[in-house]
Structure 1
Amino acid sequence: MKIVVVGSINLDFTLQVDKLPKKGETILAKNYKISLGGKGANQAIAAKRLGADVFMIGAVGSDDKGKYALNKLEEEGLNLSGIYQIDDITGNAVITIDNQGFNTIVVYPGANEKLSTQWVEKHSALFKEADFVILQLEIPIETVESAIRLAKENNTKVILNPAPVKDISEEIYKYVDCITPNETELFKMTGTGDIQQGAKKLLEKGVREVVVTLGEKGCYYTNGSEEIIIDSIKVNAIDTTAAGDSFNAALAVALCKFKDIKRALKYANVVGGLTTTKLGAKDALPFKNEVEDYIKNNNYI
């Protein structure tokens, strides 16, 4: 299976705290970690660890952080021919995590904002070979839309993770095979807090399938004629960072493997859940054998 990920590459600066700070409050962190992150990089690494051949299209700066990011991506065995190194600062994120595993994230896009449509189009050959293209919205929206059009021109399936929420051209929705907002993103996109109604609105825009991730409550799926609710797995969650990213990667991998949406959703739920049991983004992304061991030991799929 071959997957192209078009998206952000960041360095994450993670701070563990007893509680998230309130407005104007200064608190002390009890732990600090620097790791590779960014929704694009997280999804690419997760898909690779789950057994896919992964081609990453993204941008990093020419600074030391950019070199660090490239080294970490190379260590994972990703195809990096689509990484653009430019004269800018590599994107970074400051993440604060409390004792319950809840977090706040502030992202500075840096080089990610300069990932152009021309750079994506230059690597159109990658789209022809791919089973899925996965995208998020931490890069320019015009680049996302260009990549989606390019995927459809090559009959490649598209999974769009609409995070953070941005305005998307109405015509683009009809080119998206599966859109995967969480509850907050669904509300921002549709104006309704009702999951079923929100999903229906996205289907009416032309999306073929909607998966709403519900955190510790699992996920909801619909294609307009079928609805599926999958409960989350029970884990000791310490950090929810990258759980949504790994879920999206796992969904693409599982759809390649199983060709069955219910099995794919359950597989993605396991991957997302296991991701929350470790601190950080990259280091928390599970490997294929860990996922298979959990499924076997818990008779889950």
Structure 2
Amino acid sequence: MNIEEKIIFSNREYDLLTVGEILIDMISKDFAEDFSSEEYIKNFGGSPANIVINTKRLGLNSRAVSSVGFDGFGDFLVSHLQNEGIDTSLIGRTTCPTSMVVVTRSRGTPVPIFYRGADYEIEYTEELDKAIKNTRIMHFSTWPLSRERSRKVVEKAIKTAKESGTLIGFDPNYHRDLWDKDFDAIGYIKSIIKYVDFIKPSEDDAERLFGKDIPKNQIKKFLELGADVVVMTLGKDGVIVADKNKMVQFNTLATEVQDTTGAGDAFWSGFYTGIIKGRNVEDAVKVGLAASAFKLKYIGAISPMPKYEDLIKEFNV
């Protein structure tokens, strides 16, 4: 695969399947860099789940694989997906409490506090196996990799995807606090990069995995580990997209920033939608930038994302 290539998909029922966390985002009402805010508001959250909702609104047939608790927060999350017209039959329920992240609003990269629970209780079922084989792109992040139970599910899902020709997108959003202390998380993450087709690190993600370096050098490290296509988001400096032969940088399309929470998820959503709609990787990056710019105008991880046709018209991409 290269960044100038348009991907020809076989006829499958689902465009996108995300595997990972659905959780509660408790986001501060006010901006504060030191968690001094006194009021936090409950929001639907979890990066893979945000991507499912965004892509559904953009016009894709998307589905989520996750687990929530038998509690009020779990009911809230499942109902939220159902109200978006999303199939929730792959959302498991468990006696563990629904997972939560507390985030203080920031104009930079938010610093989260994690409360883990039900999100890693996912199971590999016959229905999940069929869903992977009937999906064009499967997406996952490091969250389910950070616990052994859900890690085994993702490993099996990757194997099924590779065997069935389902493309794989990976968000290497590594956070040390999510992993067991005696587990070589960084080494493990590096070991699975060779299995993915798309990887989208932020500068912070890359620094956590490789140490500090300039973006172009970081991208080369992902490529050397076997990734086909690397898309590195640079915040206000835009995006760099690369394969083994070509590297291109695009400027941001954002003109207004209310809240950066979920901007990366919005980018993923636009990027995947562009790929499914027949754009090559370079052009799909432009759709990702448009979706991210749209989201930045709103507070919370999810914005009232428009249809694909309206988004590309608004940002002329």
| Percent of pairs with identical residues | 27
- AA matched with 1:77: G
Taking a change above 3 Å as real, the CA distance of residues 247 and 285 of structure 1, as seen in their structure-2 partners, is farther
Aligned to 1:229: 249
Deviation at 1:147, TM superposition (A): 2.2
**Residue 133, structure 1, aligned to residue 114, structure 2:** no
Q: Is the 8 A contact 1:8 1:38 kept in 2?
A: yes
Aligned to 1:6: 19
TM-superposition CA deviations, 1:43-74 (whole Å, max 9, x none):
11111111111121000001111011100010
Deviation at 1:287, TM superposition (A): 2.3
**Residue 162, structure 1, aligned to residue 172, structure 2:** yes
TM-superposition CA deviations, 1:97-125 (whole Å, max 9, x none):
14x36532212121012224x34x65111
Deviation at 1:295, TM superposition (A): 3.4
Aligned to 1:114: 121
Q: How does 1:58-207 map to 2 (within 5 A)?
A: 58-98=66-106, 100=107, 103-116=110-123, 118-119=124-125, 122-141=127-146, 142=151, 143-165=153-175, 166-167=185-186, 168=188, 170-207=190-227
C-alpha distance in 2 between matches for 1:281 and 1:28:
18
TM-superposition CA deviations, 1:114-162 (whole Å, max 9, x none):
224x34x651111111110111122234233332222111111011011
Deviation at 1:12, TM superposition (A): 1.2
**Residue 55, structure 1, aligned to residue 63, structure 2:** yes
- AA matched with 1:295: I
Number of equivalent positions: 289
Q: Which ranges of structure 1 fall in alignment gaps of 5 or more residues?
A: none
Over aligned residue pairs, what C-alpha RMSD do you find?
2.0
Deviation at 1:230, TM superposition (A): 1.1
- AA matched with 1:93: V
Taking a change above 3 Å as real, the CA distance of residues 88 and 252 of structure 1, as seen in their structure-2 partners, is same
Q: Is the 8 A contact 1:148 1:172 kept in 2?
A: no
C-alpha distance in 2 between matches for 1:240 and 1:77:
26
Deviation at 1:279, TM superposition (A): 1.0
What SS is found at the alignment partner of 2:297?
Answer: coil
Deviation at 1:170, TM superposition (A): 5.0
Q: Is the 8 A contact 1:43 1:248 kept in 2?
A: yes
Q: Which moved more, 1:252-261 or 1:220-229?
A: 252-261
